[in-house]
Structure 1
Amino acid sequence: MDAGRRKAVRWVLLALLVALVAYGHWWYGNRHQFFDLGIYRQAVNWWLDGHDLYDFTKPDDTQGALGFTYPPFGALVLVPFGVLPWGGAVTLYAVVTVAAVVLTTWWLLAPVARDKAFAMILALTVISALEPIRETYTFGQINMVLVLLVLADLLVLLPRGSRWAGVLVGLAAAVKLTPAIFIVYLLVSRRYRAGLTAIASAAGATLLTAAIAPRASWDFWTSALWKGEGLGNAAYTFNQSLFGMLARLSDPPNRFVWAALVLVIAGYGLWRARKAALAGDEVVGLTLAGIVGCLASPITWAHHLYWFVPALVVLWYASRWHAAFALLIAVTVGLGMVSWFEQGLPDHPWGDGVPGFLIKNWYLLLMIALLPLLPIRSAERDAEGQTPASEPATVR
């Protein structure tokens, strides 16, 4: 088959995949109806009406009482979604989230893809089908805004040597605490200036919020943060963290075992992230750091697991074996394996024993597997042995 015919076949197969995924989205629909966006709006409006922000609760049949769990700076960022009418808030959310997915995907693909148009269409099709991205959108979560800030910092500002590198990571950590893992990542990978800038950025946003909303700030940092109320049921299948796994095995989970697991796995993951960063592979470094953050956090819902996206890009372009692993991730995460129990899968024979453990913790197990298996790619070196800031890592 000549090159022209092969290219035509590739585009036909891609068109069929796009049609199949589009049908899947139509069939699945927006089952969550921007549920979390609604909570953001209700909490912000409750606060703007003069109530204490962290007294807000919303009953939920599945997870009990849900509250506003982000720092007060996160509430300030979400104010536009609260003051807009529902239709305007949904439109703003949809535009920002879709734009964030497209832009971050471009940053990941542009350095490695030859046929960029084909690669972007294929990647966006697959990414849109992944449960973390699909559920982020249908729940109305702000995850992609935080991802956009982190990737803009680490893949755009930092490689260019910008003095502003670290500011966006700090702002993301001020909105929601989990992106603070990337401050740790910057420090352990010897980017001290960017790490300290991120700390200053997070502290500045937090102090500014304390000046604007002193009561909410006091309540969060002295009480709400430590109580951990309103986060939801830790044993719920959608919680794919180490703590969630232990909660499903025993109630209450053994916190000493959890702390030991976090220390070992986070230590190893950050060691590999540091190794990747020092080798010039920022994508692998930030992916490993993101996975560490998800594993270590007590609550990591399935829609928080964006880091499968850069992992898939790295795996696909690494080797045939790695590409096969990427297909396994794409298919099982795309089908929503951990959601089977939430969609009426019978408890037996899959609910107990090894099959039940594997299904209920599948995303967790994939993340643990990625820590050693995600390949660190080499980068071209300059005369002094340093990675040129303007050149991306290349697969070898």
Structure 2
Amino acid sequence: MPQPALRRLLTVVATVAVAAVAFYLLFRWQRFFDLRIYISAEKWWLSGGELYDFAQPDALQGKLYFTYPPFAALLMTPLGLLPLGASFALLTAGTLAAVAVTTWWVTGGLARLTDSPRWYAFGLALPLILLIEPIRTTLSFGQINMYLVALILLDLLVLLPRNSRFTGVGIGLAAAIKLTPALFIVYLLLCRRTRATVTAAGTAIGATLLAALIAPTATREFWFASLWDTTRVGRTDYTANQSLNGLLSRLSAPEPPDTALWLGLAVGVAVVGLWRATLAARGGDELTGLALTGLTAGLISPITWVHHMYWFVPAIIALVCAGIAAREGRRWWLWVSAAAAYLVCVIGVDTVVDWGVAQRPTPGVREFLLRNAFVLLSLALVLLLPVPRTQNRRVPADGADSGETFIVVSAPDRDDQPKNGPIVRSVAES
């Protein structure tokens, strides 16, 4: 084996070993808590109960309900039929596969920028991504977030660069399973991707109508009653809620936050986040565009649990890419920012504070920072993540008909580009 390849292999092995030890030390086993709720709700439904009447008592939040749309419930039906252990194993294996596949997609441009083999960028990134708290809690609680992430990234990093007519199907399905990904349909619209927008919206509507045909009672109950009952989704002041609403709820506890204040902040963040995401996409940086959209969705949602916050991953990779393209002085600031953001993602919220509800307004700066770490990091990235001003460019590759889209990775200022011109990378190499 050539020396460079051997060094890379040893580096990957060392990274895996260190990440494995850290994962073991930081992991908090929640016994598939959320997955057990899904399974119990499905069994209740299959036995003749009304899906949205299911309620599981909870010591902290009173009662916990099935809160996903009926289309998601239909997809989860096998959970009510399989043995418990089989459900645990299948969901975990699927989540790990989704993390691996999405890591392959988001590291393609990074490999090209660093002139490294694709396997090397993937091998370094995968254990580091598995280590962050959003992924740890997804595995621990038995959540479905990575399936939704995979659908969205399939559209934006695989199908879109190939100009596939199926672009938008993944986002549409994700929006039908859970409402928050619908913001990506708005992102497509603002980026003037008309066909993808229509496909995504049509898929979401079609999946919802299909669920209505199969489960009309559950559909009527969800869209006309359960969706609007804010008590069903959990306490907004719960520490694990890392949205703007969660931050405001902890500041005003035990009283609810001012609704007008929250809506005003949410609208402002949505406008800024989507504006910057659109600029990034039009500048050719799809990774930054989708990261900003995902972070914005998390901030403006009434409840965003820590396991929803995968979008730190593409944001941090975008920071690293911007650092590679920046001039020497600015480069280190971008890389230090990426390292600091990653450290926050690893330490997270659950590791350092309890997950209880707020009995009083958050006391002191230290506790405020700890209990709102992901909210503050999301805000910082939405406002400060470098967005290229360079127009989208297509660069001939080996095989010009491959449909692969290349983008210019650069810091916002033209002076940040290397002396030999802008660095060009592929959005997603396959």
Which moved further from structure 2: 374-383 or 256-265? 374-383
- What do you get for the CA RMSD once the two structures are aligned? 2.2
Contact 1:242 1:364 in 2 (8 A): yes
Q: 1:26 to 1:362 in 2, by over 3 A?
A: closer
What is the rounded CA distance, in whole Å, between the counterparts of 2:17 and 2:31 in structure 1?
23
Find 1:79's aligned residue among 73, 77, 80: 77
What code does the residue aligned with 1:51 have? G
Find 2:335's aligned residue among 323, 329, 336: 323
> Counterparts of 1:255-266 in structure 2 under 5 Å?
255-266=259-270
In structure 1, the residue matched to 2:162 is 160
Alignment pair present for 1:375 and 2:373:
no
Contact 1:178 1:293 in 2 (8 A): yes
> Counterparts of 1:150-189 in structure 2 under 5 Å?
150-189=152-191
Find 2:275's aligned residue among 271, 275, 279: 271
| CA deviation map 1:252-307 (0-9, x unaligned) | 11000001001111100000011111112111111111111000000001110000
What is the rounded CA distance, in whole Å, between the counterparts of 2:196 and 2:392 in structure 1?
23
Deviation at 1:8, TM superposition (A): 6.0
What code does the residue aligned with 1:312 have? I
Q: 1:252 to 1:94 in 2, by over 3 A?
A: same
Q: Normalization by structure 1: what TM-score?
A: 0.92
What is the rounded CA distance, in whole Å, between the counterparts of 2:6 and 2:209 in structure 1?
57
SS at match of 1:393: strand
| CA deviation map 1:9-50 (0-9, x unaligned) | 665554333222212333445511111111111111111111
In structure 2, the residue matched to 1:31 is 29
Deviation at 1:395, TM superposition (A): 2.5
> Counterparts of 1:1-396 in structure 2 under 5 Å?
4=3, 12=10, 14-29=12-27, 31-113=29-111, 114-250=116-252, 251-319=255-323, 320-337=332-349, 339-342=351-354, 352-377=363-388, 378=390, 381-382=393-394, 390-396=404-410
Deviation at 1:95, TM superposition (A): 1.7
Which moved further from structure 2: 75-84 or 199-208? 75-84
What code does the residue aligned with 2:219 have? S
Q: 1:315 to 1:214 in 2, by over 3 A?
A: same
Contact 1:133 1:306 in 2 (8 A): yes
What code does the residue aligned with 1:252 have? P
What code does the residue aligned with 2:308 have? H
Q: 1:27 to 1:381 in 2, by over 3 A?
A: closer
Deviation at 1:225, TM superposition (A): 0.3
What is the rounded CA distance, in whole Å, between the counterparts of 1:23 and 1:181 in structure 2?
37
What code does the residue aligned with 1:390 have? E
Query: Where does the alignment leave 5 or more consecutive residues of structure 2 unmatched?
Result: 324-331, 396-401, 411-430
What is the rounded CA distance, in whole Å, between the counterparts of 1:157 and 1:310 in structure 2?
17
Q: Normalization by structure 2: what TM-score?
A: 0.85
What is the rounded CA distance, in whole Å, between the counterparts of 1:281 and 1:176 in structure 2?
26
Contact 1:338 1:362 in 2 (8 A): no
SS at match of 1:62: coil
| CA deviation map 1:313-366 (0-9, x unaligned) | 11122213221111111112102245411189xx9xxx7211111111111111
Contact 1:67 1:229 in 2 (8 A): no
What is the rounded CA distance, in whole Å, between the counterparts of 2:44 and 2:233 in structure 1?
18
Q: State the percentage of identical aligned residues.
A: 47
Contact 1:237 1:339 in 2 (8 A): no
Deviation at 1:70, TM superposition (A): 0.5
| Moved segments of 4+, more than 3 Å | 7-17, 27-30, 377-380
What code does the residue aligned with 1:62 have? L
Q: 1:389 to 1:189 in 2, by over 3 A?
A: farther
What is the rounded CA distance, in whole Å, between the counterparts of 2:37 and 2:355 in structure 1?
23
Contact 1:281 1:379 in 2 (8 A): no
What is the rounded CA distance, in whole Å, between the counterparts of 2:138 and 2:109 in structure 1?
26
Deviation at 1:4, TM superposition (A): 4.6
| CA deviation map 1:100-142 (0-9, x unaligned) | 1011111111122123222212111111110001101111000
Which moved further from structure 2: 43-52 or 367-376? 367-376
What code does the residue aligned with 1:309 have? V
Deviation at 1:84, TM superposition (A): 0.9
SS at match of 1:58: strand
What is the rounded CA distance, in whole Å, between the counterparts of 1:63 and 1:202 in structure 2?
31
Deviation at 1:379, TM superposition (A): 6.6
Deviation at 1:382, TM superposition (A): 4.4
